[in-house]
A and B are shown apart, each in its own frame.
Chain A
Amino acid sequence: GAGVSQSPRYKVAKRGQDVALRCDPISGHVSLFWYQQALGQGPEFLTYFQNEAQLDKSGLPSDRFFAERPEGSVSTLKIQRTQQEDSAVYLCASSLAGADEQFFGPGTRLTVL
């Protein structure tokens, strides 16, 4: 596709459930970022991949959050044992190597009941 795609667009989970959020970056984009956007706030950095290597995971809020990009293309953000405070929009962005412009997907809105 022409842009970054994310699925599902909406996810409702019961507290304690595991969820997996998918990101398909723009073809050829080496860099991939995940951000978390709480209601009424700006996005906050979670983690960064260069190809398949996870070079920065300093923004992951707890060890319940895990991200992977095994083949350097599609990425999955997994949240284990979801909590209500995990409710947010999760944004994925991709960019060319060394480029400062990031292209964002539409996000996945996660609601934890």
Chain B
Amino acid sequence: GDSVTQMEGPVTLSEEAFLTINCTYTATGYPSLFWYVQYPGEGLQLLLKATKADDKGSNKGFEATYRKETTSFHLEKGSVQVSDSAVYFCALSDHGSGNTGKLIFGQGTTLQVKP
């Protein structure tokens, strides 16, 4: 079945450092790919998405490119801030024939940014 694998955390960075969180997926169809973020004490929020190969999703300085050839959707940010400290989840959904569009999540990566 479809699955998502993301790098284990925690990831600890200093403010203004470059961030990469790796995510790879397996899917039989043509899924949409997502990054969700969970800030401390808050619910899951959509950070960015990409719906087809070579699309780049971006939001709040974060970017991720849908790479079909490497089945990857790595999250990057050029300069992290303390306020980016959160748990990040990579996910996919497949709206193909017979599919409900349910999300399949990776296990999450905790990011800690120190001042």
A interface residues with partner B (beta carbon < 8 Å): 4, 31, 33, 35, 40-45, 48, 50, 55-56, 59, 91, 93, 95, 98, 100-107
Give the A-binding residues of B (Cβ under 8 A).
4, 32, 34, 36, 42-46, 49, 51, 89, 91, 93, 95, 100-108
- The answer to whether B108 and A42 touch across the interface, beta carbons within 8 angstroms, is yes
Residues of A within 8 A of B4 (CB): 42
CB contact under 8 A between A42 and B32, given known A91-B44, A101-B49: no
Closest-by-CB residue of A relative to B36 is: A104
Out of A43, A56, A107, which one reaches B100, CB within 8 Å? Answer: A56
Q: Which of B43, B93, B104 has the most CB of A within 10 A?
A: B43
- Closest Cβ of chain B to A50, distance in Å, is 8
Instruction: Given A31-B100, A98-B101, A101-B46, output 10 extra A-B contacts at Cβ < 8 Å.
Output: A33-B102, A42-B4, A42-B107, A43-B103, A48-B102, A59-B102, A93-B44, A93-B103, A100-B32, A100-B93
Q: Is the CB of A41 within 8 A of B108?
A: yes
Given A31-B101, A42-B89, A43-B103: A104 touches B44 (CB 8 Å cut-off): yes
User: Least Cβ distance of A33 to chain B in Å?
Assistant: 6
CA distance in complex: A106, B93 (Å): 21
- Whether B102 pairs with A40 at a CB distance below 8 angstroms is no
Q: Across the two chains, which residue of chain B brings its CB closest to A4?
A: B43
Which of chain A's residues has its CB closest to B99's CB? A56
Cα–Cα distance between A102 and B95 once the two chains are bound (Å): 13
- Beta-carbon contact of A95 and B45 below 8 Å: no
Query: Are the C-beta atoms of B95 and A100 separated by less than 8 Å?
Result: yes
Q: How far is the CA of A80 from the CA of B101 in the complex (A)?
A: 27
5 contacts between A and B (CB under 8 A): A33-B103, A42-B107, A43-B105, A100-B51, A104-B36
Query: How far, in angstroms, from A52 to B2 measured CA to CA in the complex?
Result: 27
CB closest chain-B residue, reference A95: B101
Question: Once the chains bind, are B44 and A44 in contact (CB under 8 Å)?
Answer: no
For the complex, give the distance between the alpha carbons of A94 and B91 in Å. 16
4 closest A-B pairs by beta carbon, nearest first, are A42-B105, A104-B44, A106-B43, A45-B102
Question: In the complex, A35 Cα to B103 Cα: how many Å?
Answer: 9
